[in-house]
Amino acid sequence: MERERNHPFKEIFGRTRMSFDLDGVVFLIDIPAVEKFNKDFGTSKTPLETTGWSTVTNWAYEEFIKRGFKSDQAIKMAAEYDRTLWSDQEIYRRAPLAPGVETFIRRLRSLEIPFDFITSRQPALKNVTYECFAEKLPLVDSSQIFINSDLGVLGHDFKVSKIAERGIGLHFEDYDEHGRLILKSTAASVVLLCYPYGTDLKDPRLTKIEVSGRQAYIEDFYKKLLLNSHLINVAQSIDNTPSLG
């Protein structure tokens, strides 16, 4: 990623404020989540088997069925397990940075391209989120991190409204349903870091990054940009209006 030579990076993105989702984009939350699932159920799942945010629920349902629970019981138990797992702060503390994140963020900083981090994480995860940035990505100021503080506001609604409020021109996302909402309700373009199963989401402001056999990372986006900047949709669809602040 350091091989860039005379690439029009600044010309494409220089006036556009970017934002990044956290889980699945900045932090690989699936790694510690799968480890915990295996410990709890005695399984041997791998992160490569995850297919999105419903994976844990589906796996738990299958395990409860194997243990003899009826379907309606298994559904309730799987949903409760999913809620418990994604509320475990240790899962978030142990999540490593995704490939290419630190290098990409340093590149943005060096070119003075504005960026934020906007997440749908629940309010209870606010402190651990700041802790993770301080430990793993300390070049980011806490003022650039936006996480919901209102229990009465759903995570996806917070994310969409904050993207609109911040005047985001380009958002990096891994969840196609959130990408759909962002494209529908804001002026932002979206880079979707797809999971192996892909997505049927289509939009002129959408760039899908797909890698065979695994989820795509920011590193994959960066490489595609360097090799195919004249082809990538996002370079042509961003509204290059002056960014906020």
Closest C-alpha among 243, 221, 245 to residue 232: 221
Where is 103: in which H helix or E strand? helix 101-110
Q: What pLDDT is recorded for position 3?
A: 45
86 vs 5: CA distance, rounded Å: 41
Q: What pLDDT is recorded for position 245?
A: 29
Task: Give the pLDDT of the chain (245 residues) as one tens digit per residue.
Answer: 444 444 556 666 767 899 999 999 999 999 999 999 999 999 999 988 887 778 999 999 999 999 999 999 999 999 999 999 999 999 999 999 999 999 999 989 988 889 999 999 999 999 999 999 999 999 999 999 999 999 999 999 999 999 999 999 999 999 999 999 999 999 999 999 998 877 889 999 999 999 988 899 999 998 887 666 544 455 445 544 433 32
Q: What pLDDT is recorded for position 196?
A: 84
100 vs 189: CA distance, rounded Å: 21
Q: What pLDDT is recorded for position 12?
A: 65
Q: What pLDDT is recorded for position 4?
A: 44
Supply 102's token pair.
């630190």
Question: How many other CB atoms sit within 10 Å of the CB of residue 227?
Answer: 10
Q: What pLDDT is recorded for position 241?
A: 40
79-95 as b/e: b if 16+ CB within 10 A = eebbeebbeeeebbebb
Please report, as a single letter, which amino acid is at residue 176. D
Which residues have a Cβ under 8 Å from the Cβ of 231 and sit 6 or more positions away?
none
Supply 105's token pair.
């963020």
- The CATH code of domain 9-28+96-237 reads 3.40.50.1000
Q: What is the pTM of this model?
A: 0.87
- All structural domains of the chain with their residue ranges: 9-28+96-237, 31-93
List C-alpha distances in Å: 60 to 41, 89, 176, 177, 192: 8, 20, 22, 22, 27
DSSP 25-90: TTB-THHHHHHHHHHHHT----GGG--STTHHHHHHHHHHHHTT--HHHHHHHHHHHHHHHTT-HH
Please report, as a single letter, which amino acid is at residue 128. V
